Chain A
Amino acid sequence: MKIFVDRQLCENHGQCAIAAPDVFRMNAEGILEYDENVDDSLLADVEDAQDACPVQAIFIQDQP
């Protein structure tokens, strides 16, 4: 699946990095970095990250 984070919405809360640390990380400046192409086996984690995002900025494209 492909992941997309809307940077206009993202406020770098970091909740996604707690829910799905294999996909989302906060760098040393506190800015989100993430993998755009993610193995389908991580769907549950990514959905948790979507839920946990306070500004609902995470989108899954080509959802399995």
Chain B
Amino acid sequence: MTRKIVIVGGSMGGLRAAEQLRASGWTETITIIGTEPHLPYNRPPLSKELLENPGTVDAALDSVRFRHRGSVADVEWRLGTEVISADLANNSLTLASGEAVSYDGLVIATGLRPRRLPLPGPLRGRHVLRTIEDAVELHQELREGTRVAVIGAGFIGCETAATATKLGCKVTLLEGTSGPMQRALGEELSAGIRDYLVGQGINYHGHARVSGLLSAENGKDDESRCSGIVLDDGTEIRADVIIESVGSIPNVEWLEGNDVDITNGVLCDEHLRVVGTDNAVAVGDIARFPDLRNRSGARRIEHWSIPGDTAKIAAKALIAKLNGTALPEPAVPLPSFWSNQFDLKIQGVGSPNLATRIVELEGSAKTPQDGVVMGYYQDDALVAVVSVDLPADRQLHYRQLVKDRHSGLPQQDSQLQAI
């Protein structure tokens, strides 16, 4: 009888898992179950070029759908299908329809969903950006002169604010900390990018706490529609469109009731095997796994490169278990990320949030538009580099230094000085 691996999650992580299972020698059945009705597509354009000019949902999908390796042509896709619970001890899943699905091996790749602001009030005009439908619907509201409030200045918030500005909207960007992308980039570069975004016409509010929503005035417009936001200091900001970009929540609820740790994503070992199970692995930004490179404990990484990186490790581990073969040494992912905002091309490698010290390696954080390279040091080891507008060959150079956890601060280091 042929055995079956079920992948729960039909987005990039699910596709990469299937491809890596095939690449690692799994020739038996693979089923992918995903809630979205579409085959996997690339999400980064959703806040950038696709939001600027999506066309119809079908046209938008055509422009971002992932190509599949030939090896996964025989994978069974069950799209528009939700797994509502799992009995990991008995290798069984339950679908929303009530149907039970059994498996020999399980890949957990259900990813994240946007966190919503816990604010009562009008619903229309409130947006999040996660799916292709979200992007197409949001685009339809971003007209010349539309007042837009973007709540949350992480990567998605900043990119969305930039795109809305390009479309002629009057954009206010609000953030709870002082600077945009501050947690990811550190204070100095964040401050430089804030000034740049303001220079591009964005109205920036730091230390902003949203306490309520305004709705259209009675009789004048639809009461169910947002007309602005209220901050906790009483400031009112008028907005026709509100975009909530305040982080994400792992889709783990379907795993409740099993003896696994789902407090922040799914806790895994360094092979991406779910702790507490012997035939389940997790892939993508839902996986909380130990950072062997920096010995910094288990964490989730929400970068685009992570589904592919974790799929490679997880697929090998799951097949080793199912086939009783030796478990190879796990690869150690090196996260990489990028963000385009107006003319800024921000690129990073490594884990900047581990930094105990941040150093300007080239240029000035005050003027990111002129090019800058920031080094992020954990004690004296280089754990990340973030650059703006740096040619790729130079990025590869810095990537190698991060990979090596290059030690020595730049002023003491001839190699860095020579750059």
Contacts and interface: CB of A to CB of B under 8 A. Distances in A.
B244 to A, nearest CB: 25
Contacts of B67: 50, 56, 59
A17 to B, nearest CB: 6
A56 B66 contact: yes
Given A13-B338, A54-B44, A18 B399 contact: yes
A36 interface: no
6 contacts: A12-B392, A30-B394, A47-B23, A54-B338, A56-B67, A63-B70
B345 interface: yes
A18 B333 CA distance: 13
A27 B305 CA distance: 23
Interface string A19-37: 0000000111111100000
B44 A27 contact: no
By Cβ-Cβ distance, the 3 closest A-B pairs, closest first, are: A30-B391, A14-B392, A26-B393
Given A51-B16, A56-B64, A56-B67, 18 more contacts: A13-B392, A14-B392, A14-B395, A14-B396, A15-B305, A17-B396, A26-B391, A26-B392, A30-B390, A30-B392, A30-B393, A44-B23, A47-B23, A47-B69, A52-B305, A54-B338, A59-B67, A63-B70
A40 interface: no
Nearest to A11: B345
A: interface residue count bin: 20 to 34
Contacts of A28: 393
B224 interface: no
Given A18-B399, A54-B338, A32 B392 contact: yes
Interface string B141-174: 0000000000000000000000000000000000
B35 interface: no
A30 B398 CA distance: 13
A26 B338 contact: no
Interface in B335-375: 336, 338, 345, 347
A29 B391 contact: yes
A22 to B, nearest CB: 15
Contacts of B395: 14, 30
Interface of A: 11-15, 17-18, 26-32, 44, 47, 50-52, 54, 56, 59, 63
B42 A56 contact: yes
B9 interface: no
Contacts of A17: 392, 396
Nearest to B64: A56
Contacts of A59: 67
Nearest to A15: B336
A44 B338 CA distance: 25
A64 to B, nearest CB: 9
Contact of A27 (B64, B308, B336, B393): B393
Interface string B384-419: 000000111111100100000000000000000000
A15 B394 CA distance: 12
Given A47-B69, A56-B42, A26 B396 contact: yes
B371 to A, nearest CB: 12
B304 interface: yes
A7 B233 CA distance: 50
Contacts of A13: 338, 347, 392
Interface string B295-321: 000000000110010000000000000
Contacts of A30: 390-395
Interface string B16-44: 10010001000000000000000000101
A23 to B, nearest CB: 15
A51 B308 contact: yes
Given A11-B345, A26-B396, A63-B70, A54 B391 contact: no
B42 A18 contact: no
A37 to B, nearest CB: 20
B42 to A, nearest CB: 6
Contacts of B391: 12, 26, 29-31
Contacts of B390: 30
